[in-house]
Amino acid sequence: QPGRIKVELMTTRPVSTLLEVLDERGFRMTRQRRILLELLENASGHVNAKDLLRLAQQRDPSINRATVYRTLSLLKGEGLIDELDLLHLDGEEHFYERRRPQDHLHIGCVGCGRILEMETNLVDRLNTEVQVTTGFRPDSIRVEVRALCPECQKRQ
């Protein structure tokens, strides 16, 4: 069956919260981490470090940039979030999203910068093919498509 379009809405959520997982793994639950984890959990789609900092500071103005980066680094290292570039359509910063059971791909419109997500089993099949063909054991996969959205196609 064909992939379904997912826009800024996640359906296949992990069962435990980031907080629960980090807690289980023995990391300290600081005030700052609670805020950042909750924001990441509920962020619609993808956040960059700058926005995450801004959002966090709305709840606690003392939260520092370094803490944001250190938390993101921790979560990356624990395999709980993935770092995306989203094709650097606008600047060089990274975006972060909660890792989900179902792999998906990101499509960025070079015209308007809109980002779309799409779930398709082709991504899982890529994983399998990599494993079988090369012997490399995939950990995570990132698929990013530069494209032109229907609206921008008309506009051209």
Contact positions vs DNA (CB under 7 A): 23, 27-33, 48-50, 60, 62-67, 69-73, 91-94
Cα 67 versus chain centre, distance: 19
Which of helix, strand or coil describes residue 87? helix
Amino acid present at 66: A
Cα 87 versus chain centre, distance: 13
Which of helix, strand or coil describes residue 23? helix
From the list a second copy, DNA, none, pick the one residue 65 interacts with, judged by a Cβ distance below 5 to 8 Å according to partner type.
DNA
Q: Which is nearer to a second copy, 64 or 153 (CB)?
A: 153
Q: Give the separation between CA 79 and CA 74, rounded to whole angstroms.
A: 9
Q: Are 59 and 87 in contact (CB under 8 A)?
A: no
From the list a second copy, DNA, none, pick the one residue 138 interacts with, judged by a Cβ distance below 5 to 8 Å according to partner type.
a second copy
Q: Which is nearer to DNA, 63 or 81 (CB)?
A: 63
Q: Which is nearer to a second copy, 50 or 142 (CB)?
A: 142
From the list DNA, a second copy, none, pick the one residue 19 interacts with, judged by a Cβ distance below 5 to 8 Å according to partner type.
none
Nearest distance from residue 147's CB to a second copy, in Å?
4
